[in-house]
Each structure stands twice: as structure tokens, then as C-alpha cells.
């Protein structure tokens, strides 16, 4: 059964230095508040996993929380580059960042294998690209039935996966809808999981296309209204497109980024 | 379409590119849409000559019908207007991989003579890149598994290179037969649309050849913006000017909030 906890307690209990941590949410329902709580609790040497390390990981990388990034697309969607990510890869600032790079299909299948309890996944992918030369978690495999050459990628089983959802009931059953990305797979693949939600309600009314993660598949639930901002939560609030533009100016320089971390994250201790 | 009518309208080379890119899509196709220039073109096609065009976005939407340009591939409007909303593993495993998508519409940071695409790093040392780009996203498998691939890219010597620094998405490799050797199911890039003209792979060599010039552009301009020794098709044609209707639809799409 999931425990209903505060965000600070949830991150404090579940995320440890050196852990492999996945924050998922494909543009929609990105757990931004949880990412900033990890910065506030000054976690270090994390291996961060995420298909689309956008602003949420630019912040974690810039704050020096990560030693490695496993990903498939690292940009500021609709705006341009992630400057902290680039600074870490190109100049090792604030700490060197090792990268393990895949395609979306490869990452999605790694989570599926992790959620399925299998050691690896098979896909028709990466053929002819330079990715296998630089990423040792992509290997060729021959189909034992047809002889077709395919790609194998190992399961991802994070120590902890964190997602954001629209709501949970008091028993800790989680409900999400709209674009659901790889969130279910990320939670089921992980040893521990934290779900932040817009609200905790008495009863989960059915929603068309909605998905429920039963309480016994989740470790902790924290009520964090607006916890996906600047991304969005369908049915609650829209994407803050202006923030993505604003982030470009904050993230562009080390000074402006450090001022932002101090003012908007570290000095906000205990505000959740 | 009449090519003799003089259009009074003035337009930018970017508008010509988006309109030329939209024109190549048909209403009976299912198109896997990359964000940015491809999304502009695909949405314009839906608003003009191809209202039945099925748009598929990697965020998990089948048949999106946005009334404005989405800000990103996960813009809420794509899910709200879709025929079906699905998970990301499903998009790639059930819909793209088995060959259900006709056209993959991609952008590129770098594109080479054989239509290979780089969106990973600029510079040949992967560990110490000159510029770190966003990476692959869905593109490698889109380029492999769609029946064919269209690429839309602003053309310059920086983007149009002899050989890409990193093959993120496989085009025609180093020439004809390379896709077959790798067992790639789709035909690969069959059209490249830029702000200067349109390129098609030579049927013998798979090298990209200039086949169409946009109005007001000379072959010399294209040569100047191409990082390899440009070949020009003997059947070189010119792109019809944008119509008033196309320009109005494009501008309305861009201005809609």
C-alpha cells in the first residue's frame, strides 16, 4: 500500500545519493516540483534516466546532482537547447556528465522490459546509425525463428521512479489521463516509486482513457498542486509556454542559473 | 495549378519552404510528424489540400487535428483533438515498427549527400563535441520504418554537408543498396525540401539531386549553399509560387493562439 506523504518526506525517504532515478512524463505531467525537491535535498551522484531530459533535468544537471544521464532527446521543446546540459557535456560544469544515449523507441522498450521483469527488449531499431558505436547498451541479436537481425537493449530498473498524476484517492490509488507517455512502465520497472498528484480525493471518478496505478504498485504518493508546472496537467492547467522561453534566459549563463537555484529552489526550503 | 499567374503576394523563403513541403503530402496518407518545420508543413497540408491527412505525433496521438501550431510534440491540443491517445511504447511498437505509417516527416541539423541525418553532435569527436545537439528522439526508427521519408530543412553549407558528423537517422548510407543491405523496410528519404528548392535521390546512385527550384532562386544560389558538388536533374522544374490561399492558411496557422 502506498503511503501518503509530503513531497519533502517522499524524496527524503526514496531518493538516495548514487541512485538511478527516473523522472518521467512526456511533455505532459512532468514532475517538476519533485525534481526541485531533489535539488533542495542536495542529492549527488545520481544516474538520471529520462526519455526527454528537458527543463526538469537541465535544473538537476546544472545543480550538480547528476553524474550520468540516460536519455533519448535532450532539448527545450519548442525553444531550443538545454544550456546546462550542454555546458555539462561540453565543459564538465559543474561536474562531468557521462551520457548513455538511445532513441525514443529504444528507451521506451527498455522501460517495457523493466516493467515486464525481463532482462532485455527487442526492437527493429538503430540500424545503420552511429548510436551502437557509442552506446554499449545497444547490441545486435538474431531472431531464433526467422533469422532477422534486430537490436537488443537492456531493461531499465531504476532504484526510484517519480511521476506526476492528476489525482489519487486516500488509499493511494493513482489516476492519470491524457498523454501518459511511459509513466506506467517507469513506475512498474522501478524498485521504489513516488507519485506526486494535483489532489488527493475521496473517490476516483472514471475518466475516458484514464489509467489507474493500484496503490500496491506505488511506494509513496504526495499531494503537490501545480507540481507539473511549467508543463501541464490535463484537466487542471495548461502548459506555461512563456516559462520555457524564460528558462532559455535563466539557463544560458552559469551566474543566472546559480542565482535562480538559490532564490527559487534552495531558499524555498520547507515551502512544500 | 497555373504557373503563369503572377502573384501579387510577397512572401519569405521560409514560407515558400513550408508551402512546398505541405504540397507533397496527400489526404490518403498517414504521416509521422516531427516538431518544428515538419509540423508546420503537415498542419498546413491539413488546412489546405489534404484535410484527411492523418497526423501521428510521437507523444502518443493518432489523428490529431490541432487548430493552431502545437508548441511541442506533447502540446495538449494534440491529445485533445486526436482520434486516439496511446502510450509512447505503443506508438513505436504497434504503429511505427510494423509499417503502418506512410510518411515520416523529419527535420535535420545536418543532412548529407545521401540524405543521412544528424541531430546528435557537431564535430567528429563524439566524446568532445563542438556542439551538443538534442539527440535522436524518435527519428532513427521513423527514418527506418515509415514507407518513405520527407525531410524539410533550411539549406546552408553548415546544414548541407558532404558527410554528416554523426548518423542519427539513416538515409541512403553511402549510396544505392545500403538500405537493402541493412534490411531497412522503408524507402528512406525520397524528398528533401529546403528554402531554396527540392531534392530527390538519383535512382541510380541515391545521391540527392536538385530537381526543383523555388521562384527567384538560381542554381548558383543552391550550389553556394551545398557542401558537396551539386548535381542538377536534367528535368529541373520550378516550384509554383505560393497561392493567396496557401499564404493565408499558413499565416492564420502561425498566428492562431
For A40-79, what is each residue's pLDDT tens digit? 999 999 999 999 999 999 999 999 999 999 999 999 998 9
| Residue A183 located in a structural domain | yes
Chain A interface, best mutation among B82, B134, B176, by max A CB count within 10 A? B134
Pairwise CA distance, residues B201 & A220, whole Å: 55
B86 pLDDT tier (thresholds 50, 70, 90) = very high
Per the structure, the count of domains in chain A is 1
Burial class of residue B83, CB neighbours in 10 A (0-12, 13-18, 19+): exposed
| Residue A122 located in a structural domain | no
As given in the structure block, the three cell numbers for residue A39 are 535539488
Segment A217-240 shows an average pLDDT of 97
Domain span at A247: 3-102+157-268
As given in the structure block, the three cell numbers for residue A22 are 527516473
| Residue A263 located in a structural domain | yes
Decide if A152 contacts A139 (C-beta within 8 A): yes
| Residue A127 located in a structural domain | no
SS3 state at B135: coil
Catalytic residue set of B: 58
- B61 CB neighbours in chain A (<8 A) are 179
Q: Does A131 touch chain B (CB under 8 A)?
A: yes
Instruction: Give the CATH number of the domain where residue A23 resides.
Output: 3.40.1080.10
Pairwise CA distance, residues B47 & B248, whole Å: 10
Q: Does A53 touch chain B (CB under 8 A)?
A: no
- Domains recognised in chain B with CATH numbers: 13-255 (3.40.1080.10)
Pairwise CA distance, residues B73 & B139, whole Å: 13
Decide if B91 contacts B74 (C-beta within 8 A): no
A144 pLDDT tier (thresholds 50, 70, 90) = very high
Q: Does B35 touch chain A (CB under 8 A)?
A: yes
Touching A: B residues 70-89, CB under 8 Å: 71-76, 78-80, 85, 87-89
Q: For B137-179, write each residue's pLDDT tens digit.
A: 999 999 999 999 999 999 999 999 999 999 999 999 999 999 9
Closest CA to B246 of B36, B41, B27, B6: B41
Q: Does A83 touch chain B (CB under 8 A)?
A: no
Q: Does A184 touch chain B (CB under 8 A)?
A: yes
As given in the structure block, the three cell numbers for residue B42 are 503537415
Smallest Cβ–Cβ distance between A127 and the set B87, B120, B183 belongs to: B183
Name the DSSP class of B91.
I
Model ipTM value? 0.95
Chain B interface, best mutation among A99, A109, A129, A176, by max B CB count within 10 A? A129
Amino acid at each position: 500500500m502506498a503511503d501518503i506523504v509530503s513531497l519533502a518526506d517522499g524524496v527524503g525517504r526514496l531518493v538516495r545519493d548514487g541512485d538511478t532515478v527516473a523522472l518521467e512524463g512526456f511533455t505532459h505531467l512532468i514532475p517538476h516540483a519533485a525534481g526541485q525537491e531533489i535539488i533542495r535535498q542536495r542529492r549527488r551522484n545520481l544516474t538520471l534516466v529520462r526519455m526527454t531530459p528537458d527543463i526538469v533535468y537541465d535544473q538537476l544537471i546544472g545543480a550538480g546532482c547528476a553524474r550520468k544521464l540516460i536519455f533519448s532527446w535532450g532539448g527545450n521543446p519548442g525553444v531550443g537547447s538545454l544550456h546546462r546540459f550542454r555546458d555539462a557535456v561540453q565543459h564538465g560544469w559543474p561536474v562531468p556528465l557521462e551520457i548513455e544515449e538511445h532513441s525514443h523507441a529504444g528507451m521506451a522498450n527498455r522501460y517495457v522490459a523493466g516493467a515486464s521483469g525481463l532482462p532485455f527488449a527487442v526492437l527493429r531499431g538503430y540500424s545503420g546509425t552511429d548510436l551502437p558505436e557509442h552506446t554499449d547498451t545497444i547490441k545486435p541479436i538474431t531472431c531464433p525463428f526467422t533469422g532477422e537481425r534486430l537490436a537488443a537493449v537492456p531493461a531499465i530498473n531504476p532504484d526510484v521512479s517519480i511521476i506526476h498524476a492528476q489525482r489519487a484517492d486516500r488509499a493511494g490509488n493513482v489516476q492519470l489521463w491524457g498523454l501518459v507517455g511511459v509513466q506506467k512502465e517507469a513506475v512498474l520497472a522501478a524498485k521504489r516509486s513516488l507519485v506526486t498528484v494535483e489532489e488527493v480525493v475521496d473517490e476516483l471518478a472514471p475518466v475516458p482513457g484514464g489509467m489507474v496505478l493500484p496503490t500496491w504498485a506505488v511506494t509513496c504518493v504526495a499531494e503537490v498542486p501545480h507540481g507539473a508546472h511549467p508543463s501541464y496537467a490535463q484537466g487542471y492547467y495548461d502548459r506555461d509556454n512563456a516559462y520555457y522561453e524564460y528558462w532559455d534566459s535563466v539557463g544560458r549563463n552559469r551566474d543566472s542559473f546559480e542565482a535562480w537555484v538559490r532564490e527559487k529552489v534552495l531558499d524555498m526550503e520547507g515551502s512544500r | 495549378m497555373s504557373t503563369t499567374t503572377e502573384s501579387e503576394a510577397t512572401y519569405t523563403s521560409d514560407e515558400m519552404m513550408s508551402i512546398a513541403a505541405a504540397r507533397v503530402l496527400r489526404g490518403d496518407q498517414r504521416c509521422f510528424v516531427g516538431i518544428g518545420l515538419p509540423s508546420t508543413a503537415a498542419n498546413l497540408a491539413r488546412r489546405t489540400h489534404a484535410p484527411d491527412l492523418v497526423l501521428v505525433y510521437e507523444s502518443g496521438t493518432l489523428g490529431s487535428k490541432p487548430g493552431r501550431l502545437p508548441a511541442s510534440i506533447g502540446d495538449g491540443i494534440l491529445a485533445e483533438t486526436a482520434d486516439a491517445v496511446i502510450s509512447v511504447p505503443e506508438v513505436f511498437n504497434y504503429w511505427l515498427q510494423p509499417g503502418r505509417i506512410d510518411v515520416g516527416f523529419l527535420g535535420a541539423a545536418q543532412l548529407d549527400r545521401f540524405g543521412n541525418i544528424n541531430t546528435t553532435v557537431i564535430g567528429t569527436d563524439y566524446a568532445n563535441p563542438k556542439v551538443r545537439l538534442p539527440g535522436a528522439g524518435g527519428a532513427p526508427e521513423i527514418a527506418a520504418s515509415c514507407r518513405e521519408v520527407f525531410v524539410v530543412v533550411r539549406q546552408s553549407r553548415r546544414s548541407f554537408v558532404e558527410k554528416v558528423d554523426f548518423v542519427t537517422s539513416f538515409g541512403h548510407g553511402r549510396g544505392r543498396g545500403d538500405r537493402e543491405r541493412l534490411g531497412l523496410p522503408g524507402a528512406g528519404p525520397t524528398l528533401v525540401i529546403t528554402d531554396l528548392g527540392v531534392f530527390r535521390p538519383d535512382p541510380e546512385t541515391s545521391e540527392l539531386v536538385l530537381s526543383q527550384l523555388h521562384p527567384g532562386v538560381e542554381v548558383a544560389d543552391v550550389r553556394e549553399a551545398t557542401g558537396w558538388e551539386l548535381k542538377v536533374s536534367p528535368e529541373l522544374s520550378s516550384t509554383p509560387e505560393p497561392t493567396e490561399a496557401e499564404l493565408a492558411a499558413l499565416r492564420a496557422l502561425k498566428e492562431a493562439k
